[in-house]
């Protein structure tokens, strides 16, 4: 099962940023940019308000950490597209706003609910995330255990998002370009 | 056109837990942890609706299961529906649908500029509707309201939308759930996997004082329980204060559920809701009610008599931004807006007329009023309310979402607006350099007259 998964069994990366409670993801790229999907545009504005050098410092596999209710508001998709383009592989948060959680799970981004995570890590700490168990191994070797996703959510993430899973389950004919 | 049933249990008497005269939250029931097994105890209306939609005898909070929505609702919007239309046809090979009545599509955004771009978006939607035999409801007003007027939001029904403000249909004892792009899952498979939510009960007593309404209540609740106080749950409104509330006020209240983190909100369908539903119903329906011993994550008692007008500072509706109107009074404004799926109903227009009758909008202030639907627009006209508003200097616009979500670009850099829209983040109404305050229609109208944020109780009390 794991070999076919779009998400590795264990995610290894650094904590690229730690956001606060009730964080509105639109702020990641600035509300004036929430309608853009162009990668160059998004790279140029991503995290500028927090760390102008973020795009150069982030590494593939890094994660971001949030506080309670991450994604509050009307969460648009481009902010997480921008983070994903930079290599962010997961969001670990104390809790997620339902709309954000559903929208980004659809997109295949592992969102791991881990109470205590925001206070337990500092920026650039290396972490290991077993997203199916919602377990995070911290630099000192201790583990924080969160709320594991449902079996359905696991399937969505393994497929690389809801659309891919639905195509496997419900496509009545081979979609152009989906195979091979 | 349809028969209705009032079968099933009668509404339980919930009057035994009346408030204590304050609006301080009071936990009346032990918290249940969502996701844990609950072998005993009654079921909430939400659990019962989902059990029915899931073809199950019983469900409990925390259970993940596929549920079949009675209606799958959307408004056309670029990047959403146009993409989903294409996916449905091209990627999933769906060339016909068995049950077009389950697909409900509104054209309620992008109606006010009349340019080629918006016509292009709407043409895609019209062609899609024609292709599948799906009725597209165009220009009747904001879909979350029109769905009720057209008889889709019936007691016991389960409706989904990609937009979370579908929760407003909870006013009728229906469960409306915003599922974002997972709407596609239901479009192509007929069902959607969901986690059954726990519920938090808000037991309401009393009635709104003059100059206070459901907007003040929802902002009070957000301030009290926090922006995630009902996270992943359903807000359930009970008690004599809930039963005394008009349908329009219930819709506005339920429509703002997402700002407590809730996935929806709901009232028990009482005689008021049932009368409305029987009048408009397109299909049969059977109301459902929470059991008297239903298990809630928490219960809060709120005395509506104690509420005061609330104003939300620019940024978001979170607790730290929510003030009493006296704390924000005096803030100068240049724009005022009454409308949206939360606050453009007949009650809101009556409130504005109550404030504006015999008064004038202050020089330098523009007040835009958008009745939520054409039906409401007509009613407001017939009641003479729009004449009152026009005489006061207000502008009345066609029923759409365009002011609230910013397409009509009502704000310019440097402006302050007081709004009954659903959201006040930067850029929401057309300019990232403008500030949006939120309040009730009473507060917006009083502020428009004063030229600055003002307490409506000084006018209507």
Over residues B366-410, the pLDDT tens digits come to 999 999 999 999 999 999 999 999 999 999 999 999 999 888 888
User: Any chain B CB within 8 A of the CB of A38?
Assistant: no
Determine the Cα–Cα distance for residues B59 and B72; give it in Å rounded to an integer.
21
- pLDDT < 50 regions, chain A: 1-3, 175, 177-180
β partners of residue B301: B203
CB contact under 8 A, B182 and A99: no
- pLDDT < 50 regions, chain B: 1-38
- Which residue from B260, B170, B274, B255 is spatially nearest to B214, judged by alpha carbons? B255
- Which residue from A149, A129, A146, A34 is spatially nearest to A89, judged by alpha carbons? A129
pLDDT digits (tens, 9 = 90+) for B303-317: 999 999 999 999 888
The model's pTM is: 0.91
CB-based burial of residue A63 (10 Å sphere; 0-12 exposed, 13-18 middle, 19+ buried)? buried
pLDDT the model gives residue A176: 52
pLDDT the model gives residue B1: 34
CB contact under 8 A, A72 and B193: no
DSSP B103: E
pLDDT the model gives residue A171: 87
**Cα distances (angstroms) measured from residue B209 to each of B212, B301, B367, B461:** 5, 17, 24, 8
Q: How many CA atoms, within 13 angstroms, populate the side-chain half-sphere of residue A135? A: 9
Using CA of residue B119, residue B121, residue B122, residue B127, what is the dihedral sign?
A: positive
CB contact under 8 A, B64 and A150: yes
Instruction: Spell B178-216 as b/e; 16+ CB within 10 A means b.
Output: bbbbbbbbbbbebbbbbbbbbbbbbbbbbebbebbbbbb
> For chain A, how are helix, strand and coil distributed in percent, rounded to 5?
35, 20, 50
Structure tokens at A138: 């911290």
Q: Go through the domains of chain A in sequence order and give each one's CATH number.
A: 10-173 (3.20.19.10)
Query: What residues of B are in contact with residue A170 (Cβ under 8 Å)?
Result: 92, 188-189
Determine the Cα–Cα distance for residues B261 and B132; give it in Å rounded to an integer.
35
Query: What residues of B are in contact with residue A178 (Cβ under 8 Å)?
Result: 91
Helix axes B247-255 and B271-280, enclosed angle (nearest 10):
90
Q: How many CA atoms, within 13 angstroms, populate the side-chain half-sphere of residue B348? A: 35
Q: What is the mean pLDDT of chain B?
A: 91
Q: Please state whether beta strands B199-205 and B158-161 pair in parallel, antiparallel, or not at all (unpaired).
A: unpaired
CB contact under 8 A, B261 and A98: yes
């Amino acid at each position: 099962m794991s070999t076919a998964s779009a998400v590795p069994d264990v995610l290894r990366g650094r904590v690229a940023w730690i956001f606060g409670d009730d964080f509105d993801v639109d702020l990641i790229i600035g509300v004036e940019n929430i309608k853009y999907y162009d990668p160059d545009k998004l790279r140029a504005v991503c995290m500028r308000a927090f760390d102008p050098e973020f795009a150069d410092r982030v590494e593939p596999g890094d994660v971001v950490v949030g506080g309670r209710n991450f994604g509050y508001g009307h969460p648009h998709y481009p902010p997480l597209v921008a983070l994903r383009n930079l290599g962010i592989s997961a969001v670990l948060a104390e809790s997620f706003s339902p709309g954000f959680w559903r929208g980004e799970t659809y997109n295949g981004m592992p969102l791991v609910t881990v109470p205590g995570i925001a206070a337990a890590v500092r920026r650039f700490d290396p972490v290991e995330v077993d997203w199916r168990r919602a377990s995070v191994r911290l630099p000192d070797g201790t583990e924080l255990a969160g709320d594991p996703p449902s079996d359905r959510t696991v399937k969505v993430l393994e497929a690389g998002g809801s659309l891919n899973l639905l195509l496997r389950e419900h496509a009545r004919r081979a979609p152009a370009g989906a195979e091979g | 056109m349809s028969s209705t049933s009032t079968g099933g249990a009668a509404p339980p008497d919930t009057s035994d837990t009346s408030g204590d005269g304050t609006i301080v939250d009071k936990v009346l029931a032990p918290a249940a942890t969502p996701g844990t097994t609950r072998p005993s105890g009654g079921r909430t209306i939400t659990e019962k609706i989902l059990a029915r939609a899931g073809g199950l005898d019983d469900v409990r909070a925390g259970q993940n299961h596929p549920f079949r929505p009675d209606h799958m609702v959307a408004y056309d919007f670029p990047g959403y529906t146009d993409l989903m239309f294409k996916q449905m046809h091209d990627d999933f090979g769906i060339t016909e649908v068995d049950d077009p009545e389950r697909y409900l599509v509104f054209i309620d955004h992008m109606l006010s500029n009349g340019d080629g771009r918006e016509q292009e978006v709407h043409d895609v939607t019209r062609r899609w509707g024609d292709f599948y035999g799906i009725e597209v409801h165009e220009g009747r007003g904001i879909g979350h309201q029109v769905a009720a007027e057209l008889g889709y939001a019936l007691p016991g029904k389960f409706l989904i939308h990609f937009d979370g403000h579908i929760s407003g249909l909870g006013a009728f004892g229906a469960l409306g759930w915003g599922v974002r792009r997972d709407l596609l899952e239901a479009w192509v498979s007929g069902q959607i996997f969901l986690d059954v939510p726990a519920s938090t009960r808000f037991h309401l007593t009393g009635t709104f004082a003059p100059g206070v309404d459901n907007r003040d209540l929802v902002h009070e609740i957000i301030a009290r329980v926090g922006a995630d106080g009902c996270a992943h749950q359903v807000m359930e409104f009970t008690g004599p204060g809930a039963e005394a509330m008009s349908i329009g006020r219930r819709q506005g209240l339920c429509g703002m559920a997402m700002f407590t983190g809730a996935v929806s909100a709901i009232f028990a369908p009482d005689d008021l809701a049932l009368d409305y539903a029987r009048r408009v119903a397109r299909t049969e329906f059977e109301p459902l009610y929470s059991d008297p011993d239903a298990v809630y994550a928490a219960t809060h008692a709120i005395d509506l008599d104690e509420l005061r007008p609330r104003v939300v500072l620019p940024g978001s509706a979170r607790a730290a931004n929510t003030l009493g109107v006296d704390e924000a009074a005096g803030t100068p404004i240049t724009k005022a807006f009454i409308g949206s799926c939360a606050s453009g109903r007949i009650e809101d227009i009556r409130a504005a007329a109550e404030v504006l009758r015999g008064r004038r909008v202050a020089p330098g202030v523009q007040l835009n009023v958008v009745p939520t639907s054409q039906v409401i627009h007509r009613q407001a006209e017939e009641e003479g309310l729009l004449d009152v508003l026009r005489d006061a200097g207000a502008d009345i616009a066609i029923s759409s979402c365009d002011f609230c979500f910013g397409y009509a670009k009502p704000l310019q850099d440097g402006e302050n607006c007081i709004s009954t829209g659903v959201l006040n983040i930067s850029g929401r109404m057309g300019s990232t350099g403008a500030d949006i305050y939120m309040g009730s229609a009473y507060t917006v109208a009083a502020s428009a007259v004063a030229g600055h944020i003002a307490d409506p109780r000084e006018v209507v009390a």
